[in-house]
Amino acid sequence: MRRGLFVTGTDTGVGKTVVSAALLVRYGGELPLRYWKPIQTGVPPDDDTAEVRRLAAGSGAEVADGGVRLPDPVSPHLAAARAGETIDLDPLVARPAGEPDARWIVEGAGGLLVPINRFALMADLIGRLELAAVVAARSTLGTINHTLLTLEALRARSLPVAGVVMVGDPDRDNREAITRYGRVDVLGELPRLDPLTPEALAAWVRTGLDPGGRLRRWLA
């Protein structure tokens, strides 16, 4: 296993970028963390790398540029086809492999089973990167089913699960159900921060994200 985490989600727009930034803030001061989003669609105007750089400013973590960038805000396989391209996983896998001392926080695009090309899904990229998954999940109605399905799909592929971060208004019942039926640690409940500033995120991280330090086993 490579040292690091892959932030996937139960859906698109669920909060993977903010969760990724929160992980950098949480552990960037003690470990040589490096954030990277290997595949991004809808660029511009979407730029998750720039948003992580803004939110994690001062964390001590490095935010890496580069990767596949495609203009249409659709699934990677479709965005690539519209651009007359095919996404090749080999160069994406080679980058972390070439920097073995870094601890990676890699953010996926969309959910776990989003297609990347004709043959590969986002789950295949996680497996080839040899990273444990952190699942970003909504806190609202429907999250139990979506989260349990994502966890089941990860485990069916023998991909290690580091935990779940729930995003939205805290819901004790949903958290307890995900913990119990998903047999997983809920590492934190990230509320909607308005405004979403580096200071507000850092204030939540100090007490709200992985207070027991359970993620160190995947990063140290």
Write out the catalytic residue numbers. Answer: 37
> How many H helices and E strands in the chain?
9, 9
Q: Look-up: residue for tokens 């803030």?
A: 25
Nearest one of 39, 112, 118 to 81, comparing CA atoms? 118
The residues pairing with 121 across neighbouring beta strands, listed in sequence order, are 115
Contact 14, 138 (CB under 8 A): yes
Helix, strand or coil, per DSSP, at residue 105: strand
* CA dist., res. 187 & res. 203, Å (int): 16
- Alpha helices (runs of H) in 63-118, residue ranges in sequence order: 76-82, 89-97
The DSSP letter of residue 84 is T
Contact 126, 6 (CB under 8 A): yes
Cis peptide before 45 (omega within 30 of 0): yes
